[in-house]
Structure 1
Amino acid sequence: MGGLPYPELSDWHPKGQVTRSYDLWNEERGAGTRAVIIVDREGVIRYRELYEPGILPDPETILQAVADLS
C-alpha cells in the first residue's frame, strides 16, 4: 500500500490501544470492530462507519465523505 497520499493506521502494539480509544474494541473477540474513520486535520472525527465481518465498505461513500471535507 505504499505511495498513498494519506496515513493509515495499524494497531499492533500495544494491542488495541487505538481501537479502544475509538470505542471499537470487542473484548469478547479480543479484536477491533471493522470500521472506516475519517479524522480531519484538527483531529475531529468527520466520518465513522462500522462493518460486520464479510461486509465491505462502499468506496464511493467513503470518497464522498473525504470530498465533503474540502
Structure 2
Amino acid sequence: MIGEKAPDFVLKDQNGEEFKLSDFRGKKVLLSFHPLAWTGICEKQMKALEENYEKFETLNVLPVGISVDPVPSKKAWAEHMGLKKLRILSDFWPHGKVAKLYGLFREKDGISERANVLVDEEGKIAFYKVYPIRELPNLEEIFEFLEG
C-alpha cells in the first residue's frame, strides 16, 4: 500500500456535506478508520484528533474520521463529543465501500479495522497502520512520522 496512489472516494460528513479525497491535493489527509460510533475507544480516537487538530494543521494535515455508521448517527455522535472542527465521514452505503478500497473492511463483522492511513500531498499513501481493534491508535507515531 505505501507509495501507491490512494483510492479516491466521496463520502458525506456528519453534516451531510460531501468530502472528496482528491479535492485536498497539496495537503496531507489522515484517514482515521474506526469500527463504530458510540463506542469508548472510537470516541477517544476521534476526540484525540479534535484535540490535536491545530497541531495537524501546522503540519499541513487534514485529519478525518471514517466509520460505517450512517450520517444521522455521525451527526448525533459529533454533537455528543463536542466536535468543532473534525469531520467524521459516513462509509455507510455502499456499506464499507471505502474501507474495502483500503483493505480495511472486516467482512464477518460488517465494520472497518481500526487504522490510520496518511495520504500525502500528491495523493499517495505515505503511512498505513492497522491497530488491534481494542487499542487506541497512538498519534505520537503519526507526528513523529510527519516531523521525521
Shorter-chain TM-score above 0.5:
yes
| Residue correspondences, number | 66
Report the structure, 1 or 2, having the larger helix content.
2
**Higher Rg:** 2
Deviates more, 1:34-43 or 1:52-61: 52-61
Q: CA RMSD in A?
A: 1.7
1:7 positional shift? 4.3
Structure with more contact order per residue of length (Cα contacts < 8 Å, sep ≥ 6): 2
**2:126 paired residue number:** 46
Is the aligned partner of 1:13 residue 2:93? Answer: yes
Instruction: Mark the runs of 5 or more structure 2 residues left unpaired by the alignment.
Output: 1-49, 66-88
| TM-score under structure 1 length normalisation | 0.78
Check the 8 A contact 1:25/1:32 in 2, yes or no: yes
- On the 8 A contact 1:38/1:66 being kept in 2, the answer is no
Overall identity of the aligned pairs, in %: 32
Please report the TM-score for the alignment, with normalisation by the length of structure 2. Answer: 0.40
Residue type matched to 1:8 in 2?
V
1:64 aligns to what? 144
Contiguous gaps of at least 5 residues in structure 1:
none
